[in-house]
A and B are shown apart, each in its own frame.
Chain A
Amino acid sequence: MNINRLRSRIKAFAAVKFFTVTMLLSGFAFSATHNIVMTAEYVANGQPAYKMISHTSSEGATPDYPVEAVIPGPTLFVKEGDVINIELTNNTQTRVGFLVPALSGLSGNQLAPGQSGNFQFNATKVGTHVYGDEGSHLTGLFGALIVDRQDGRVQSLIEGDGTLIPVNQSDLKKEYVMFMIGSTFWGAEIVNGKQRPLWTNPTLGALLNDTVRFHILAIGHAHTFHLHAHRWPDETNFEALGVEPHIIDAKILDLPFDSHTFTVRAGSGVGTGFWQYHCHLVSHMESGMAGKFHVVDPAAGGTGESIAGASPNGKIWPNSLGGEPGLVTFEVTDEPGSFFRSIRSDTIKGATISPSLEIVPPGSSVHFIMSETKGVHTITSLLWPSDANDPMHGDHRQIPMDQTKAYRGGGIVKLETPGLYVFTCKIHPYMFGAVIVDDPNTAGLDLGKAIDIVTGINNLPTISDLATRLLRTFFVATVQENWQDVTSSQPWHVKYPNVNVAIGDLQGNLVDNLPLKDVLESRYGQDITLAALFNPVTPGVGEVWINTQFEKTAGKTKPGTITVLDAATWKIKRKIALPQINMNHPHNMWTNRDQSIIFQTQWFDTKLTFIDRATGALLHNVHVGDTPSHVMTIPQSDVITVAINGENGVIGIKPGETEPFVMMPTQGPGQIPANPHGHWISPEGTIITPNINTSDTGFYDSNTGEIIARPAAGGNFPAGPHPIAIGMGIDKVYTANLLDHSLSVYDLNGNPLSTINLLADYDPISPTGDTTLQDRDGDGLVTVGVLPIQTPVDPTGRVVVTANTGGTITIVDTSIDKVVAMLPCDPGCHGANFGAKSGGGYYAYVTSKFSNQLIVVDPDPNGDGNFSDAAIAGRISLVAGGDVPTDDKIASLAGTGGQGILAVPNVYNGWVQHLPAEWRGGLTPAQLNPVQ
């Protein structure tokens, strides 16, 4: 059926309905019927939005709506008892509906692209209600339906002299509709029936002593609204009850679709000024969730005009000239690589290649919305143009952007200074979103002369190896097609944007019009032949469990599988996806004493999952807290501990139970949350955490919860070392510092012993060349470990194997605490853990996020205790053949995302001693007693 015919049928249907309903509601003397025709469209930056086509009312007058699609959508004003007929045409590429959860529940009919449909609501409930779409309600398809009383009475206000004043709708000079979405206000105002979009974080204008009504609405994430210097009665029925009003100036909005409406007299008792309104969650304040209520005195010439904020229809690349300040939007998602995904990436990806790259002119804004993730995150500047936070030129109050705590929401920031900005999440530091702020009047996209990096590196020329290496890392990490596939016969090809850029040379000059692709290909190669797969000659013992965290399967929306490898044959035994719980980013595992249950964290979620080791079956799925990262048992007590990476502690679950019984705080009360990631536990029960948010290593007594010590981590660079994983020797602790490119070494009481610099042989500043890597520390070796992550010590305490994201494996001999060997790894090299080698000794198993193989490292092939001959013993594909048992069909990104690893039996010191007899058999006496 064509759309026009469908429409006319709907109209006919609506007319009949109208008649029937009018008859039914005849008891309501004043009830009106509203026939509203709307469309769902895309605005210029790719966000979906509702647009008013027509509104007729049996009552007569209807508002003067914006002609364009707007966010929030057109504000619908009706009266109690009215009937609302919506005819919606979906002009977007996804299914769209129209819900009013307060009137009709949480789900409804959804229209396919191109379809039209009819929605009807009875305005049975006075109040301000959210309307919106089920799927895109955080990205633009939302608006307000305001149901007022028939008698026109609205919320009373409190005067500056304390008098409570009843207010009628006709008294209102202005109404503001303000949606709290993510960490951004989306606003509109209504003046004398004329509606005007005010977009993001607007300045709301009012004349002194104007009576104005605020409609605050929130969807999804929880907020508290606060307006400076004004107060109002909370929305209770205090007048009818004859009790005192509750006078407030801040209000929680924590329901999935929530609203709060109040009326104030602008400036009453406090006068004129720019009065800030904001969300009062500290993390939301820090991510930009604020605007101004500007009260002016008409006697002093003030007009009370509102000023719109950054607009999705404003200036963004390639339409960078003319118009209002623009806005680009990144959706924060759980999709591998596209963790910050430009909402218009489908339309600009031909040019940008990466879905996580945006381009705007100076003065436009970038906006983040955590719309497709179940984790908590931060929006944190990783690097920015050196001028951007200069108090004289830039905005040092917004750049670098950061928040003290991980949270749910989003962020918004205006970018004034040309150059490259990269944002990350502190909790998940391989989430990247990049924005090039390009001055349209210069040749080539502006990468800026120099960048500052969060670790305290300032004025790094963009021509330097480190700057272009980071840029290359960005294009590898954020483009799924750029990931290595070891099963492909093709060489590894990395796609870069075919654009010219302007970068800064070592002398501080801007070099125009360099082809970016040529620069990166000449520096880092192209079409590289991957090393061949081969099995280790000597088998391992037992099984190797691998979190192929990005592998996608058909039966769930979230990524991640567990790949179980038989170490005796090096064949994949099983893939476990757990579609019944939509397992989301399985990140790290441990096992119980008898090796029968695998504990699995879901790093972008809130759950710890218990899996039957022998069958791969789901046992329990337990809420443990925001963004649980690593799991490990306490060797003596078998208590399961989980580092709650998005929060401020480590939870404990007693053996045999599934619910947490305690959370051990990783910091003192009221201190900045530590956000521990990859902890370790000593045989005596000391819990050691890498505290990513507070740049230290925490030592805690698991019996008392007492903080033993919190020594600083890192030291290569001035700031932000980002300690991320712990390895434990016999008498020493090793912390891998991701952004400091170092290992911090401590004794068991937390006293610092040394820092191992993994960049000693690297020259980050010069342009890439023959001397970028050379022996600079005079040890006769050229080694480098860029972005170290997992860093286990072998069960005997003699050797540390570190997986470095930059694509190397470094080997540290603990007797001298120096790097003694380096091995090649894949891009996004991440996980490492030891398992027993058949007949004695150990293998270190190493995984990489942006490839699909397991690298087996033999740290001591000849068993002589000297680790300088460490070697790759095997390379094993993590792609399952059709005969491998699985609980869900592999759909894409086969075998990729390698992160957590667990070898079973668990042969680490502290645990191996407690293995049951059935698992002891395969181990040598030395493996059973690793510490002699």
Chain B
Amino acid sequence: MSLAHRRPLWQFCPAHCIQLFLHFVGVLVLLDLHTHSIKSDDGRAKVENYCQWIRSKNLPIDGFVLTEHRQFDDESDYSALAEKFDLCILKASEVETEYGHVLVYGVTPGLQAEFDFGSISLSLARVIEASNAHGAIAVPCHPGRPRVGMFAHTDELGVPEGVEIVEIYNGGSRDQEDQIAIDNASQLGYRGIGGSDSHIVSHVGRCATRFDVEIKSIDDLVSALKAGQFEAVNLKSGN
């Protein structure tokens, strides 16, 4: 996947130029792994508008993953938009557990039959177990956040088994929420991803995850996550 997209170099800020250079010297893909569209009850962004925003603002991301709240969006097909804007658009879910919110990549019909995605009181252990059994991967998101973040519950509930990756950069984080996530992830040996958690178009791409392998499908994404071939990136202004 190319980052150039026929844009003149002077349109890129230095950080974007570095990203562009890295794309030329090796396979690097930058994806926003946590976004919401109007399919989520609190999402105000249409997927096409995300694409237009990314291109009109020359954002350095190559695509994004739609992680709709408490559901998997079976019906939407974004392949035409992906082709039109030369972006990778993938679909996943954000579910709710006793340890807070959890992104699930690689959702299949079999996995959907394993638990009620609409529940707000799922068992994290069950989500991880079922995800692993169906070739998916579960990633607790904004873990440094009160109530809906995993590390807000580990003192009371203990450190959950089976977590390998957490979201360490979240575009909606306040105060020290990302730092809490980074510190705890480091202490527990978790790898970190980044995602904007955007609900409106102008927030897409605030955080992302860089991969050193090509990502063209959700299977590619799950494989890369399981292989640990990624790095969280904070693209919020000032970083």
- Asked if chains A and B come from one complex, the reply is no
